[in-house]
Amino acid sequence: MGLGGDNSVEDYVCQLNATERKRALDELREDDNIREQSLEQMRDWITKHPNIKKCRTDAPFLLRFLRTKKFSVPQACEMLERYLTIRQLYPQWFQNLDCDDKDLAEIIDAGYLVPLRDRDSGRMVLFSCAGSFDPHKFTSAHMIKVHSLVTEALMDDETNQINGYTYINDESGFQMSHISLWSLTDVRNILRCIQNTTPMRHKANHFLNISPTAIKLIEFAISLLNEKLKNRIFIYKSIEEMYKKVDKKILPKEYGGEVPLKEMLATFKTLLKDKREKLLALDDMYIEIDEKSCPLVSEMNEELGIGIEGTFKKLTVD
């Protein structure tokens, strides 16, 4: 049943510093005892689950879900079940995350999506530039897959699990051809995946240089989010306005910071290479999708537009 790591709770060593431990306790209700008990309960649940045939059970993987759900084991288990199911419903988005893939490598090399070196109040910062994505050469599936590759490479990091993520999006260069890549169903489906199945704490989302072309798509996407995420979106008329919310020192040199984007990209590409085999091994996980015996799948299918009756419960995202 276990994949990709030592399953023993006793062998797991928490790598958090004092500041992170305090934040984990204050915000997530996490201490050594709760963490150990919760990991044991999740492993027991995975072992007994009739449909989960293969799943990672190492601590860094399971803690993604426990920390996102503030150590509510039932909610963490439900999110894990959704995560496994979504990976199989949408393999074109979530499987074969290979940094050596020619198309994915080209998109990353262009600087479309880059984790910054410095953090935003402890949070990992993901910086994207719409103009660096070629909509004439690549599809919306390529775009989502790059995001999946980047975030999967970061999600086992305990600091990221506890502090969460900040997103900075430069929409300059966004064209009608970018919009033409997307159906409204795809926009709705991927946002549902982000909100309800991705074990990440989405803390702030900043948008720069939004053109009249981009604003309608962004407004549509925002309308599909829950209230918590809506309240964490910030749109700026100028980069100077954003400096009031984000320390410009953490930004690429091209945006007022100190380190060129190319240097940040080179650092991240090294990380991707190091994690390549582990990311590809995620595809070994397997859950049997049986709508008759698993009502959860029917609920998800209805919400994701697959045409099976049911409703998708809104889960709290933090």
Query: What confidence score (pLDDT) does residue 300 get?
Result: 53
Secondary structure of 92-141 in HEC code, one letter for each residue: HHHCCCCCCCHHHHHHHHCCCEEECCCCECCEEEEEEEHHHCCCCCCCHH
pTM of the model: 0.87
What residue ranges define each of the domains in the chain, with the CATH number in brackets?
Answer: 97-277 (3.40.525.10)
| Six token digits for residue 193 | 């995946």
**Which pLDDT tens digits describe the chain residue by residue (318 residues)?**
555 444 444 467 777 899 999 999 999 999 999 999 999 999 999 999 999 999 999 999 999 999 999 999 999 999 999 999 999 999 999 999 999 999 999 999 999 999 999 999 999 999 999 999 999 999 999 999 999 999 999 999 999 999 999 999 999 988 888 888 888 788 888 888 877 899 999 999 999 998 887 787 788 888 878 888 888 999 998 999 999 999 999 999 999 999 999 999 999 999 999 999 999 999 999 999 976 555 555 555 555 444 333 322 333 334
Burial profile 210-237: b = 16 or more Cβ within 10 angstroms, e = fewer: beeebeebbeebeebbeeebeebbbbbe
pLDDT score at 306: 45
How many CB atoms are closer than 10 A to CB 47?
13
